[in-house]
Amino acid sequence: MDQQASAIPHVLVFPLPVQGHITSMLKLAELLCLAGGGGIRVTFLNSDYNHKRLLQSSNAESRSQNYPGFRFETFDDGLPMDQLTKGEKISELLGEMDSKTRPVFKNLLVQIQPPVTCVIGDGSLGFISDVSLEERKIWRG
């Protein structure tokens, strides 16, 4: 990777996989692209299931065209589809995500290119900051 590419900040945005959180974090990702004037890369991380729903109900793909530094990254969260569609208790969803999504997220942080320089994760998903600290993608002051 050349020095210029590595000097560009790369923000990974990871919302809780429910509609209100996805919509809000997607807007934040869009604002980061606008504020950076093309000088910030933004990767929006979403589960396969929610990404398919997002594409069906919005013009989400246009963000890649409108903001060259923006991209979607998806993952299989390992959660059964019926669990996601029956209004499962949020505490159970969070527990399942911690055990099934933590290793997927860690692997993504290690492999994603260009390397992530900042992680914005939903506060409800505590493992995001834990894994980000382990991989030195964020620091606590």
**pLDDT tens sequence across 53-90:** 777 766 666 666 778 889 999 888 666 655 555 555 66
Catalytic: 98?
no
pLDDT value at residue 111:
92
pLDDT value at residue 135:
77
Catalytic: 10?
no
> What is the homologous superfamily of the domain 3-134 according to CATH?
Glycogen Phosphorylase B; (3.40.50.2000)
pLDDT value at residue 141:
44
pLDDT value at residue 31:
92
Q: Which residue has the higher pLDDT, 64 or 46?
A: 46
Q: Is residue 118 predicted with pLDDT exceeding 80? A: yes
Q: Which residue has the higher pLDDT, 100 or 6?
A: 100
Measure the CA–CA gap between 92 and 140, rounded to whole angstroms.
28
Q: Which of 10, 77, 122, 130 is catalytic?
A: 122
Structure pTM?
0.82
Q: Which of 21, 51, 77, 130 is catalytic?
A: 21
Helix (H, G, I), strand (E, B) or coil at 14: strand
Q: Is residue 120 predicted with pLDDT exceeding 90? A: yes
